[in-house]
């Protein structure tokens, strides 16, 4: 069942791969994703494309157990078990929020305020096409 067609998925790739947003040249508001009308001042086609930082903190989260995952995530969940999903507040001035899956962590150790960074991972596979996108993981810093 192709509820998200390949072309539909493809349209959102700049956001899913690189957090591309639209900054309104008129009022400075950052629209994620870029839209025809600026979400704040409603001026049409004033947005220039910018890349939001792939780092932020956890604003809120949940842990998905069995029975709460959409069917396209069934295979992934058979490998991963329970996984966490979060709304992440990005590190930019406007603190744009994104709704993403967390990876590379114990879902039960997630906390609000935890610093996380974006990583490129497999979201799911459908119609034999692998759909990639960004997930966030607890930041990995080099020791000082």
Partner 1 sequence: MRMTKIEVCGYGCYIPRFRIKREEIQNVWGHFEGKIKEKAVMGYDEDTTTMAVEAAKNAIANAKVKREDISVIAVGSSSPPYALRSMAAELAMAIGISQNSRFLDFKESEKAGTTALLTCSDIIANQGGLGLVVGSDAPISIASDSIENAYGASAAALIVGKSKGLAELEGSATASIEFIADRFRKDGSLLVEDLGIPQYYQMAYTKSIQQAVTQLLGNLGLKATDFQHVFIQGHDTQEPTRVLRKIGVDKTKLNTNTINLIGDTAAASVLTGLVGLLEIANPGERILCVSYGSGAGSDAFSVLVKEKQEILENVPIMNTYLENKNFIDYNQYLKFKELINLES
Partner 2 sequence: MKNVAIISCGQSNFGSFVEKTYEDLFADAYLESLKHIKNFEASDIEEAFIGSLAFGGSQLGNMSALVTDSINVVGIPAARVENACGSSSFAFRYAVHSIMSGQNKIAIAGGVEKMQDISKKSRLWWFGVAGDIKWERLSGMTFPGNYALMATRHMYEFGTKKEDISRCAVKNHKYAAMNPKAQFRNEITIEQVMKAPIVAWPLTVFDCCPLTDGAAITILCDAEIAKKYTDTPVYVIGMGAGTDHLALYRRESLTRIEAAIKASKAAYQMAKVEPKEIQVAEVHDCFTIAEILAYEDCGFCKKGEGGLFSHEGQAEVGGKTPINTGGGLKAKGHPIGATGVSQIYEIWKQLTERHQNQVNGAEIGLTHNVGGTGSAAAIHILKRG
Q: Which residues bind partner 2 (CB under 8 A)?
A: 1, 3-4, 12, 15-16, 59-71, 73, 76, 82-83, 85-87, 97-101, 107-108, 112, 123-124, 131, 133
Q: What residues between 83 and 102 interact with partner 1 by CB under 8 A?
A: none
Sign of CA dihedral 121, 9, 33, 110: negative
Please give the Cα distance from 26 to 46 (Å, whole number).
7
| CB nearer partner 1, residue 113 or residue 142 | 142
Find where tokens 């490129």 sit: 120
- Residue 27 gets the label, from left (phi > 0), alpha (psi -120 to 50) or beta, of alpha
Q: What minimum distance in Å lies between the beta carbon of 33 and partner 2?
A: 8
Per the CB < 8 A criterion, the answer to whether 19 and 52 are in contact is yes
- Work out which of 28, 51, 60, 70 binds partner 1, going by CB under 8 A: 51
Q: What minimum distance in Å lies between the beta carbon of 80 and partner 1?
A: 4
**Residue 17 binds partner 1, judged by CB under 8 A:** yes
**Residue 142 binds partner 1, judged by CB under 8 A:** yes
Please give the Cα distance from 53 to 115 (Å, whole number).
13
Per the CB < 8 A criterion, the answer to whether 134 and 110 are in contact is no
The residues that touch partner 1, with contacts defined as CB under 8 A, are: 13, 17-18, 51, 55, 75-76, 78-80, 103-104, 117, 119-123, 130, 132, 135, 139-143
């Amino acid at each position: 069942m192709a509820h998200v067609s390949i072309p539909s998925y493809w349209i959102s790739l700049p956001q899913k791969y690189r957090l591309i947003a639209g900054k309104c040249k008129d009022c400075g508001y950052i629209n994620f994703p870029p839209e025809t009308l600026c979400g704040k001042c409603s001026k049409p086609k004033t947005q220039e494309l910018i890349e939001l930082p792939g780092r932020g903190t956890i604003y809120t989260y949940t842990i998905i157990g069995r029975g709460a995952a959409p069917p396209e995530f069934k295979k992934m969940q058979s490998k991963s078990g329970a996984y966490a999903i979060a709304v992440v507040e990005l590190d930019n001035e406007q603190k744009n929020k994104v709704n993403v899956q967390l990876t590379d962590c114990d879902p039960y150790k997630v906390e609000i305020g935890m610093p996380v960074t974006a990583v490129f991972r497999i979201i799911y596979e459908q119609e034999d096409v692998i759909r990639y996108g960004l997930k966030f993981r607890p930041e990995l810093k080099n020791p000082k």
